[in-house]
Amino acid sequence: MRALEPWVEAPLQTFLAESSARLTLLMTSSGQVVAQHGFSRSLDVMTAAALGAGIGASTEELARLMGSSRFEALVHHGARQSCLLAGFGTPRGRWIGLVVFGPETSVGIVQLFFDQMVQQLASAARRDEPAAVRLPENFEHELDASLKALFGR
Amino acid sequence: MTAAQAVLDRVTRVPGVRGALIASAEDGLVVAEQLMDGVDGRAAAALAGSLVGRLARTADGAGRRAPAFVQLRAERGSILVAPCPKDLVLIAVVAADANVGLARLEMLDAASRLH
Amino acid sequence: MSLVNFTAREITCKIVYYGPGRSGKTTNLQYVYGRVPESRRGRMVSLATQTDRTLFFDFLPLELGSISGFATKFQLYTVPGQSYYNATRKLVLQGADGVVFVADSQARRFDDNLESLQNLQDNLLAQGVDIRQLPVVFQYNKQDLPRDLILTHEEMDDALNFRAVHSFAGDALHGTGVFETLRGISELVLKRLAAGAVAG
Ligand SMILES: Nc1nc2c(ncn2[C@@H]2O[C@H](COP(=O)(O)OP(=O)(O)OP(=O)(O)O)[C@@H](O)[C@H]2O)c(=O)[nH]1
Ligand SMILES: [Mg+2]
């Protein structure tokens, strides 16, 4: 498991243990990765987050067009594994969770513990107020050197 | 009244039963429910579905038949589970002083008639 | 909003290629994909129609490497340029840290460029973003076409670039200007971040 913010770790860990999910990805609604478990390549995680956020955004928009509020969750039943996509509010804005699970667990279990994680994330976020932070002084200087190296010009 | 509702009606009439529900075992999702306030049907369905699945796999691995009735006893009551045909489970949430014997009879009888 | 994480020392920025239909947005990403070493890029995802028109978005994740000890990642997106996909464009634009406006230099596409730029401004505004506050660069693409069909770099600047932001002449098909453009927007986005933007 890998979480960008330490306070996300405990709720996610509990979810993973209780739900037996194979892959879990938490992202912001604009597709930025917040935490993940089960992926081996960080670049693939970004792709999954972009696609997950895209699905989340379009189903929400679709729900609005059809005059309902938002869809709670989207479940895709596959032959060998299934997938749950659910949006939720956090004190840090709207996030989306993407969970891939197999027949060793069930959609009911995954949904149950997902909702529990959402509650735990909400209270953990309130305890961990973000501090105002700055990049190091030399960032801009090093940036020039890095861009030169990367783009070769 | 649907067949499912009739089954739930009979089970919840047993003294001490605080709620009954039918769930799909594989998904752990509620199919029908009749619950008193404060009973979380969704959690009961998810957990009982998973429990039955695991027990069935364990029994199978040991070369035994899957259990026909499960009682999970906790401090403040029990959860009773009866697997039914068509991958359904009948679940009852009962208080500590409930008549578990009667509940069991009703559930087994009802389970056999859930076709 | 860029995600800056100080514990994990990571920076992730979202850059959106915007512009009218068939201006060459997807071609820009394809060129970058083909030229960046595999270790620094992920899979390129293209959600497109059967005729290769972008339907939802293209997506290409890049790892720029470490800057001041921060692992810096870019997410490149394109929007579908065709006008009736506006709902989708709005979705892709959400949370963008910078925009590359890919204009079609062909004289006959003049109005389409203007319309798309106006549409960008409207969509940003609907999300509470003033285009003047957002890092934006222009790329005048298809400069390889015959002179009599296209407007020059200066003419394109006059037509679109009112705020005199960075602009680049491009031929995305052959790669001219593609990396210059990407470098231009990267620099703007990261410098803005360094200037004191706070973690998202
Ligand atoms: N001559 C020339 N053709 C180009 C150039 N860039 C792109 N094209 C061609 O223009 C056509 C459209 O390019 P795309 O990259 O698919 O355009 P797009 O902006 O992604 O279009 P939408 O997805 O519909 O918004 C393709 O046939 C490209 O080969 C260029 O610099 N010069
Ligand atoms: Mg395209």
- For A80-110, the three-class secondary structure string (H helix, E strand, C coil) is CCEEEEEEEEECCEEEEEEEEECCCCCHHHH
Contact A142 C45 (CB under 8 A): no
Whole-angstrom distance, CA of residue C54 vs CA of residue C82: 8
Q: In what order do the strands lie in the sheet with B88-95?
A: B29-35, B17-24, B88-95, B77-84, B70-74
Model confidence at C52: pLDDT above 60: yes
User: How, if at all, do strands C54-67 and C70-78 pair?
Assistant: antiparallel
Q: In what order do the strands lie in the sheet with A23-28?
A: A2-3, A33-37, A23-28, A93-101, A82-90, A73-76
Whole-angstrom distance, CA of residue C172 vs CA of residue C189: 22
For the record, the structure tokens of C175 come out as 């790669």
Burial class (CB in 10 A: 0-12, 13-18, 19+), B16: middle
Residues A5-27 have pLDDT tens digits of 788 999 999 999 999 999 999 99
Q: Where are the domains of chain A?
A: 2-126+134-151
Interface test mutation site (partner A, options B22, B50, B57, max chain A beta carbons within 10 A): B50
Interface test mutation site (partner B, options A112, A113, A114, A115, max chain B beta carbons within 10 A): A112
3-state SS, one letter per residue, for chain C: CCEEECCCCEEEEEEEEECCCCCCHHHHHHHHHHHCCHHHECCCEEEECCCCCEEEEEEEEEEEEEECCEEEEEEEEECCCCHHHHHHHHHHHCCCCEEEEEEECEHHHHHHHHHHHHHHHHHHHHCCCCHHHCCEEEEEECCCCCHHHECCHHHHHHHHCCCCCCEEECECCCCECHHHHHHHHHHHHHHHHHCCCCCC
- CATH architecture entry for A2-126+134-151: 2-Layer Sandwich (3.30)
Which of A49-58, A130-139, B62-71, C106-115: highest mean pLDDT? C106-115
Query: How much is the pLDDT for C22?
Result: 96
Q: Where are the domains of chain B?
A: 3-113
Residues A22-70 have pLDDT tens digits of 999 999 888 888 899 988 877 788 888 888 988 888 888 788 778 877 7
Query: How much is the pLDDT for B36?
Result: 87
Give the C-alpha distances (Å, rounded to integers) separating A130 from A124, C88, C188, C200: 12, 32, 25, 9
pLDDT-based confidence at A135, cuts 50/70/90? low
Of C7, C12, C66, nearest to A5 by CB-CB distance is: C7
Specify the residue for token string 């429910």.
B33
Counting atoms of ligand 1 from 1, which one is nearest the CA of C30? Answer: 15
Whole-angstrom distance, CA of residue C67 vs CA of residue C7: 15
Residues in chain A within 8 Å Cβ distance of B49 = 106, 108-109
Whole-angstrom distance, CA of residue C73 vs CA of residue C75: 7
pLDDT-based confidence at C152, cuts 50/70/90? very high
Closest-CA residue in chain A for C69?
A139
Query: How much is the pLDDT for C5?
Result: 64
Query: How much is the pLDDT for B1?
Result: 62
Residues in chain A within 8 Å Cβ distance of C190 = 143
Class of domain B3-113: alpha beta
Model confidence at B115: pLDDT above 90: no
- Average pLDDT of the residues in B19-34: 91
Give the C-alpha distances (Å, rounded to integers) separating C1 from C11, C57, C198: 11, 18, 10
ipTM confidence: 0.74
For the record, the structure tokens of C157 come out as 């600047």
Mean pLDDT value across chain C: 90
Min mean pLDDT across B59-63, C19-23, C60-64, C123-127 is at B59-63
pLDDT-based confidence at C200, cuts 50/70/90? very low
- Average pLDDT of the residues in B49-71: 85
pLDDT-based confidence at C198, cuts 50/70/90? very low
